[in-house]
Structure 1
Amino acid sequence: MPTDTAVPNDDIDPMVRTQANDCIRNHVIAAMGVGLVPSFLLEAVGVTGIEVKMIRDLAEIYRFPVPSKLVAYKVLISLIGSVAPFFVAAKLHAAVKTLPIVGHATYIAFLSTTNGAAVFAVGKIFQRHYESGGTFLSSDKTVLRKHFRQSYDEGKNFAHTLAPTAPAS
């Protein structure tokens, strides 16, 4: 059974952790907004750009060398490869919005929870990576998948808290 040897550092300054959580929150909000774009391709590109920017911003917050865009894309692709089955299923869920009228309305009603949850999960994985001293992404792929799945579920709940509620009729 694989173990997660990349434990977050408990010595992290609480202000740094708060900055990182705020960074993730802001990028989740941006990803949820991108979900309103009526093109799946533009949405995918937009969310990927938001994830890469978040990885770079988190690196700066944790005072890690800021990865170049190319390195950040490669790291993101590697991460997606590690969690591919779950990540692809989550992203394909967004395709439901391509159904005429009902599909798009349903998608908008969820306020792009899928995008927000995916960005949240990627953010939490990189937060853990930086807090572990840069070793977490070297963990066993099953550990990464499990952490992504847990973070994705947490991200869905988090995204729901960010979504405005419909006024009562």
Structure 2
Amino acid sequence: MPEDRINISTHRTVQSNKTALSRQVKEQTQLIGELTAMIQQKEQELAEWNGQSHLIGELTNKLQETETAMSVVHQQLQSKTHLVNDLTNQLKTQEQHMRTAAEHAQLIDDLTTKLQEVEIKLAAASLQGKHISAQNTVKTHMVSGMALGLLPAPLFDIMALSGVQLNLLRSLCRHYAVDFDEQIGKGMVSALVSGSLPVLTVLGLSSFAKLIPGIGTVGGGLSMTVLAGATLYATGQVFIRHFEAGGTLQDFDGKHWQAFFKQQLEEGKAFVRSKQFGTEPNSRSATTVN
């Protein structure tokens, strides 16, 4: 009996152990299944993660490439910026130089204009001084010519007047740097006087009047004095005008100047009378154009 009880007890113990072991195996099997499912899930997640990691790697590489390209572009941009700054500075420098050059050019223009004005004024002053000097030469010869009126010898005074006229022309040629030729000069002064027939007539009559004793000598001398002075005055004005216009003895046209000579002859008479008798001439200035 006791052995049966032991056996029964043992059997029960074995059965209980089997049941517990079976339950434990079942639980373990279930746990393994759950773990297997979890492993599969994790493997799937890992696979997905690996795919995402590959994508992340590609994106990372592209990002690195983009950053590298941006760095190159940034360097190029900096280089171009420096180049633009250099060009801008050069442009500013050129503009400053251009402004300076323009200012210098304007200054040169202003100075040139002022210089031209000064030169014109100097030339005008020189011409005026030269003209005044020429008029003084005429007056000097007028004094010499008027003195001929006091010579008592008829006709000699007319010949002497021609000599004074020729000498006046020689002096004016020298004054205006014009080549003088005595033969051409004689023909010119002769043409001027002969072109005014009344002048020759009056000169001849005044000279011959000296043959009359007394009042004829005095009257002829005074008339000859006025005419000699006026003739030299008119001769001087003609050649002063001709030379100041750039003329020479070779291009002198006596016929062209005859009207002007007659006009200046009348002014010369008034001028001589004003000097002799203290009256003012009513004629125009000898330097006016007819």
Question: What's 1:85 paired with?
Answer: 197
Paired letter, 2:267:
E
Percent identity between the two aligned chains? 22
Quick check: 71-80 or 18-27, which moved more?
71-80
User: Matches of residues 90-101 of structure 1 in structure 2 within 5 Å?
Assistant: 90-94=202-206, 95-101=208-214
TM-score (norm 2): 0.48
> Equivalent residue of 2:155, what SS?
helix
Change (3 A) 1:37 1:148: same
Q: 1:22 aligns with which of 130, 136, 139?
A: 136
CA distance in structure 1 between the partners assigned to 2:215 and 2:129 by the alignment = 44
2:186 aligned counterpart, secondary structure? helix
Cα deviation, residue 164, structure 1: 6.4
Shift of 1:16: 0.4
TM-score, structure 1 as length reference: 0.78
2:245 alignment counterpart: 132
Q: Judging changes above 3 Å, is the alpha-carbon distance between structure 1 residues 110 and 80 closer, same or farther for their aligned structure 2 residues?
A: closer
Distance in 2 (alpha carbons) for counterparts of 1:78 and 1:106: 27
Larger radius of gyration: 2
Using the TM superposition, name which of 86-95 and 34-43 deviates more: 86-95
Displacement of 1:109 after TM fit?
Answer: 4.3
Could you list the per-position Cα deviations for residues 14-42 of structure 1 after superposition, in whole angstroms to 9, with x for gaps in the alignment? 01000110000011110000111111222
- Taking the TM superposition and a 5 Å limit, the aligned residue runs for 1:141-152 are 141=255, 143-152=256-265
Gaps of 5+ in 1: 1-9
Distance change (3 Å), C-alpha of 1:27 and 1:97: same
Per the alignment, in what secondary structure is the counterpart of residue 56 of structure 1?
helix
State the superposition RMSD in angstroms. 2.4
Please tell me whether the aligned partners of residues 93 and 114 of structure 1 are also in contact (alpha carbons under 8 angstroms): no
